[in-house]
Amino acid sequence: MTKKGDMLYAWTNDAEIQKKAELGGAVTTLWKYALESMTVDAVLAVTKGVDLYDAVPVIITDPKDLAKTAGSLHCGTLLMAKLVKKFLDGAHDKKIGVTVKGCDAMAFYELAKRKQISLDNIVMIGVNCGGSVSPVTARKMIKEKYEVDPEKVHKEEIDKGQFIIEYEGGHKGISVDELEEAGFGRRSNCRRCKMKIPRQADLACGNWGVIGPRAGKATFVEVCSEKGAALVDGAVRMGMMATEPANAKGLEIRGKVESAMFKLGDKWRRHDFEALGEGKERLKKIMSETARCIKCYQCIDVCPICYCVDCTTKNPAYVAPGHLPVPFMFHLIRYAHIADSCVNCGQCEEVCAAEIPNALFMHAQQVELEKMFGHVPGVNMELPLMAYVEEKEERLRLHNTGSDMIYENVFNPFNRKEH
Amino acid sequence: MSDEDLQLKYTPTTCPYCGVGCGLNLVSRGNTLVGVEPYKRSPINEGKLCPKGATCWETVQKPGRLTRPLIKKNGKFEEATWDEALDLIVSKFTEISKKGGPRALGFQTSCRTVNEDCYAFQKWARCGFLTNNVDNCARICHGPSVAGLSLSFGSGAATNPFEDVLNSDLIVMWGSNAVEAHPLVGRRVMQAKKKGIPVIVVDPRRSPTARLADKWIQFNPSTHIALANNMMYYIIKEGLEDKEYIRERTKGFDDLKKVVEKYADATNIHGVPQETVQEFARQYANAKNAVIIYCLGITELTTGTDNVRSMGNLALLTGNVGRPGVGVNPLRGQNNVQGACDMGAYPNVFSGYQAVAVSENRAKMEKLWFLKEGSLPDWYGVTLTEQINQAGDPIKAMYFLGLNPTVSYPDSNHVRAQLQKLDFCVMQDIYWNESCEFADVVLPGTCFAEKDGTFTSGERRVNRVRKAVDGPGESKYDWEIIALLAKKMGLKGFDWKSAKDVWDDMRACTPGLFGVTYEKIEKPEAIHWPCPTIEHPGTPILHIGKFSAADGKGTMFGLEYRPPAEVADAEYPFTLMTGRIIFHYHTRTQTDRSQTLHNDVPENYVQMNTQDAKELGIKPYEKIKVISRRGESIAIARVTDDLAPKVMYMPMHFYKGANQLTNTALDPLSKMPELKHCAVKVEKITEA
């Protein structure tokens, strides 16, 4: 019996999956089992659109269609959780399996806290993620830094700190550091990310730490929940997949890779946050950058924290409608409502038509709030500070005491335990 | 949950609004559109969208779509079968054409619809009725660009792609508020600015684009030629012109020089201090690579074509055409304003700008279109607003595809009165609009989300439009409706099965587009025309080494400043400018159906100067009456210092709004009406 906390090597026994599988094919096999056993009604995965730079979400109900989702697309910068909320009714009455990166997993928890997704109906298989590259950046980078026609590339991967491409007539790797120095490489939020192995998923899979005879032929699986354990047991029981305990040395190597990634993440955090300055200087920078906003509302639309039908930014009492430049209050509302729970998924920045580093601003604030109040978003179901307030109670308190200090009790961390 | 709940389809397509041509994914579940998601793979916008693009799906499946043909009987519209409606159109148009000849009919198509519809439409008008009375609404936005740039450079299109501004050393935006009207070009300028490329915005109004600029040059409305001539005076006086370029690649320098010598000091006309003009002239002439981006501030005036040629003059004088980072780029207003012209929905050219006046062109088309030798007309057809003027005499019947002339054309009262005079009128559209009541037959077409096809953006890029869902009720593809009419008339060459068939029909008779196959534009990089052969990679930058004109030269013109047709006077003391806002598109038929966009700007407004407001006792957000010689409009006053005193600005989107006031006076060369400039007075609304 597999149990939570197990560290395994796993590989597929399925002949079809073996043909396509990368590094053991455990993820595809587990989904095949999940669909066949009706553990899930559908799998939300990613497939290639017009080419390997184009990641398109796809709903799979027939296990035969899983083949087209195999392999990773580092140009896939989708956020799966918000898609489940928007287009799959928050999984409130269907069971859905999803392959998740760190940011996806964190987003699922945040949306679940806000009752926008039924986490009970979600099975998450996490995959290690060292970061992703926006498709147009990737193509430019391949053309300019690799001097290869991006149309000729048929495979890309990130391995041992290098972004490697395979193309007609060869392969080429350049270190991610070098690419990022040149203004290419991963999205800026990915550089700052420290959610490399998503352990809040049911299983955390990847190739880090697979060594010895299984190297390149097995998937590393960390079992993170009972749901995850059941999935592994089921697939093994059906003979679809085989496992063995992970090599101890491999485990150590996996830990080293992860901590190297953390160090890199810390380096980028220092780099990005220090450039913002502090206090008034930081505020000034934020105000001048956000002054370009064209009010497309896309940062709100893609945000895994936003869900309100009547968004406060549309309330004329706060933000005068129909004006460019957009009043700064628009952005203040976003910071006030989101910063405590920002998971640094980067979507708001990637879709910003005005080139505002939205994710950087929000992430910078989240990190400060975490220091102050100790709330870590995206890792479990613990509610953010603001959620401890019952609006009616709060209004009554203000009325009774004559105070105008909204949420005073919440923002005083010493009182927190009483709630 | 039904099975539909476990469907999720992304359809990558092209935004239906402005001429930037952003890519987006329409998301559908079954036949229901449920959203727009970023198409990050698109090199044009990288998944980023403006408020309109982001909400474009909301307007597709709203109540009020036309779902069945309607025929007016005894003043009331009744539902009819397709056969009834099409038979009636064929019999009326045939009868009127028999009686009145080819000049008794008028055909107008929208630039919003796909190339395939535009091509089919003009082919039917030309083959079925041997008329050139076919035009599209580019006439009232970038007609002067087509005319002016053709005269200056030999091609009426933008010279360089949008992203190319990042290769520039100086960006001049003249009469363009790209941040609102072409937001994803605005983004390129934001990127350029971040890169340290200086941006100069020339605009009478401190627009959101002007706010972005390193330098905002405020000048008096509609004095472009005076300002440009004044600049060129300094450039020549200080010897900053590109002498080698002028010698090798241009003609007309002496002509230009003679005229600009008279503009040593034109501050009394344009209002810009001479030091500013001089500094601007030096900066433009000294930049290694300078690009001019312009828009309707330049074109929608009675001097439109000359204004465009003045931009051409500046670029030619300083050698700024024909390589990366330079050029003269009109930002085409509508998604397919480039394409509708390219398709030959134009009164003097077939597709690909093949002039109808040239007998070889007519002979070629007659052969390809199965027409009798010598049957196609050689005369210059009647243009868009002139067709309106001719309604009743000699034009008796008109066909409008995707247009709302009583709102979007100048002087709405005049348009309504003219449409009344028609014997027969057809409106083909997706929603019932304000003009439909003037029709005898209303036909339900399909919108961008419901059909395959192509839009050609302002950078001459042919972008694919892909069907995501079926159209409502009995609606049909617009090209299909046209083909049915043609077939009912017994015409050959309309047996298309798909949008691709229409496109290939067009390619066969259009040399500059022959190489643009559907296969080649499957990926979002697509192809910039000209692209004459299958192997040809397309032409992102025009005029490299040689201009497109017959003699290969760029032409400079000596152009005199002329004031607008109607200027402010004692009776109408304010100058009214018009323009676009980011939250709406044209007559709001689509955008006002988005709750988000409606909330942002639900009704008409007018910007006026703080001092003027004070003098008239007008408070911010007070409703006021704006009156011109032609009509009046009620608007909310937005009081601001973004405009000079005695200058006002009204968005053009609202029914009984700006076009109640605008002037129909035409630019003699391009027939562009003076939509950007008229004289008005202001009255407070007294409580009843």
pLDDT per residue as tens digits for the range B244-282? 999 999 999 999 999 999 999 999 999 999 999 999 999
- What is the arithmetic mean of pLDDT over A56-79? 88
Predicted pLDDT at A23: 83
pLDDT at position A419 is 39
Residue A149 CB coordination number (10 Å): 12
Whether residue B4 has pLDDT greater than 70:
no
Question: Of A274-288, A299-313, B230-244, B351-365, which range is least confident?
Answer: A299-313
- CA A103-A223-A383 angle, 5° bins: 45
The region of weakest confidence among A95-104, B583-592, B622-631, B636-645 is B583-592
Q: What is the mean pLDDT of residues A253-263?
A: 95
Alpha carbon distance A74, A285 (integer Å): 31
Q: Which residues of A259-295 are buried (b: 16+ CB within 10 A; e: fewer)?
A: eebeebbeebbeebbeebeeeeebeeebeebbbbbbb
Give CA–CA dist B353/B533, Å, rounded.
17
- Does residue B470 have a pLDDT over 60? yes
CB atoms under 10 Å from CB of B127, counted, come to 22
Residues of A in contact with B6 (CB under 8 A): 41-42, 59, 61, 88, 94
Q: pLDDT class for A413, splitting at 50, 70, 90? A: very low
Do A108 and A135 meet the contact criterion of CB atoms below 8 Å apart?
A: no
pLDDT at A412: 53
Spatial contact of A150 and A131, defined as CB atoms under 8 Å apart: no
Encode pLDDT of B351-362 as tens digits. Answer: 999 999 999 999
What's residue B141's pLDDT? 79
Helix-helix angle B304-317:B253-260, to 10 degrees: 110
Which tokens go with B360?
């070889």
- Asked if residues A132 and A186 have their Cβ atoms less than 8 Å apart, the reply is yes
**What is the pLDDT averaged over residues A80-91?**
96
Secondary structure of residue A94 in the 3-state scheme:
coil
Between chains, do A295 and B600 touch, taking CB under 8 Å as contact? Answer: yes
Band of residue B567 on the pLDDT scale cut at 50, 70, 90: very high
Read off the tokens for B61.
């499946």
Among the listed ranges A144-153, A246-255, A379-388, B188-197, which one has the minimum average pLDDT value? A379-388
Cα–Cα dist B450/A394, whole Å: 50
> Is A350 close to B47, i.e. CB distance below 8 A?
yes
Confidence of residue B1 (pLDDT cuts 50, 70, 90): very low
- What is the share, in percent, of chain B residues with pLDDT greater than 70? 99
| Nearest Cα residue in chain B from A324 | B208
Are A291 and B211 inside 8 Å of each other by CB? yes
Choose the weakest-confidence range: A304-318, B415-429, B537-551.
A304-318
Question: Do A338 and A293 form a contact (C-beta atoms < 8 A)?
Answer: no
* Beta carbon pairs, A and B, within 8 Å: 125
Structure tokens at B229: 């001539």
ipTM of the complex: 0.93
Look at residues B540, B477, B535 and name the one whose alpha carbon lies nearest to residue B159: B540
Q: What is the mean pLDDT of residues B81-110?
A: 98
Whether B365 contacts B349, CB under 8 Å: no
What mean pLDDT is predicted for residues B404-426? Answer: 93
Task: Give me the residue from A50, A61, A298 closest to B54, CB to CB.
Answer: A298
Contact between B128 and B489 (Cβ < 8 Å): yes
Average pLDDT, chain B: 96
Q: Is the pLDDT of residue A414 over 70?
A: no
- Residue A60, both tokens: 């799979």
Residue with tokens 């697509």: B526
- pLDDT confidence bin for A141, thresholds 50/70/90: very high
Q: CB A297 to CB B54 under 8 A?
A: yes
> What CA dihedral angle connects B95, B96, B97 and B100, to 10 degrees?
130
Q: How many helices (H) and strands (E) does chain B have?
A: 23, 28
The 10 Å CB-count burial string (b at 16+, else e) for B548-563 is: bbeeebbbbbbbebee
**Residues of chain B with pLDDT > 90: what percent?**
93
- Lowest mean pLDDT: which of B31-45, B79-93, B311-325, B591-605? B591-605
Range scoring the smallest mean pLDDT among A19-28, A124-133, A253-262, B395-404: A19-28
pLDDT at residue A122 tops 70: yes
Give the 3-state secondary structure of residue B558: coil
One-letter amino acid for residue B676 of the chain: K
pLDDT the model gives residue A417 = 44
Q: Which helix (H) or strand (E) holds B116?
A: helix B115-129
* Window B:162-201, CB contacts with A under 8 Å: 179-180, 183-184, 186-187, 190-191, 194
Q: How far apart, in whole angstroms, are the C-alpha atoms of residue B430 and residue B434?
A: 13
Residue percentage of chain A with pLDDT more than 90: 81
Nearest to A269 by CA among A199, A197, A371: A371
Within 8 A of A88 by CB-CB distance, chain B residues are 5-6, 8
pLDDT band at A20 (very low <50, low <70, confident <90, very high): confident
Rounded CA-CA distance B111/B456 in Å is 10
Average pLDDT value over all residues in chain A: 92
Cβ–Cβ contact B208 with A under 8 A: yes
Widest Cα–Cα separation across chain A: 76
Residue pLDDT, tens place only, A367-405: 999 998 899 999 999 988 776 667 777 778 888 888 776
Strand-strand pairing, A122-127 and A203-206: parallel
d(CA B326, CA B319): 9
| Token pair listed for B570 | 């004692």
- Please list the alpha-helical segments (H only) found in B55-111: 82-100
The structure tokens 């400079």 sit at: B556
How far apart are the C-alpha atoms of B107 and B126, rounded to whole Å?
Answer: 10
Beta bridge partners of A11: A242
For residue B596, give the chain A residue with the closest CA: A314
CA A287 and chain centroid, separation: 27
How far, in Å, CA of A66 to CA of A84, rounded?
19
Read off the pLDDT of each residue in B646-669 and give the average, rounded to a whole number: 93
